[in-house]
Amino acid sequence: MAQQTEDRADEATIRAIATAEAGRPGALMPILVAVQRRFGWLPPATVEIVADVLNVSRADVAGVASFYADFRIEPAGRLVVGVCRAEACQAAGGEALAAYAEERLGCGFGATAADGSATLDAVYCFGNCALAPAASVGGRLIGRASPERLDAAIRAETER
């Protein structure tokens, strides 16, 4: 019962977000961005509600939501860690950092640890190439990232 009430509240929030943006040209992307910012992912009701508000097909909304890797169609773990897999970071030791992140978090890229503690994202350039390799922990950018610095940032975030 509590879950149903929560789901209905979420659906009302999604509808309010979509309605507020619906008059803008190209409203679909800003709506999906706003929904994800609010929930941390795109809850399943998003596609139907946004399609209804914008008067487009569900396939149109689902196509955009699934095309862009930045949109999550499943909830993320409690901590989101990103490691840059692009060229400048690869050349600066990014592969070792990536391997460490997988081992430390207990999941591969694009996945969430079984206990829900963390999600590991591959990022293709943070725009921080001068300080490669780059990573992010809980949205905070780390330059010249090493396993030790990544570990310290993860501990700091999880102890908050």
Interaction between residue 141 and ligand FES (CB under 6 A): no
Cβ nearer to ligand FES, comparing 36 with 128: 128
Among 84, 105, 137, 145, binds ligand FES (CB under 6 A): 84
Interaction between residue 134 and ligand FES (CB under 6 A): yes
Contacts of 21 (CB under 8 A, 6+ apart): 27, 30, 31, 34
Q: Give the separation between CA 90 and CA 82, rounded to whole angstroms.
A: 14
Residues 100-129 within binding reach of ligand FES (CB under 6 A):
125-126, 128-129
| Residue tagged 């190439």 (tokens) | 129
CB atoms within 10 A of CB 118: 24
Among 33, 34, 73, 86, binds ligand FES (CB under 6 A): 86
Q: Give the separation between CA 160 and CA 145, rounded to whole angstroms.
A: 21
Interaction between residue 132 and ligand FES (CB under 6 A): yes
Which residues make up the interface to ligand FES (CB under 6 A)? 84, 86-89, 125-126, 128-129, 132, 134
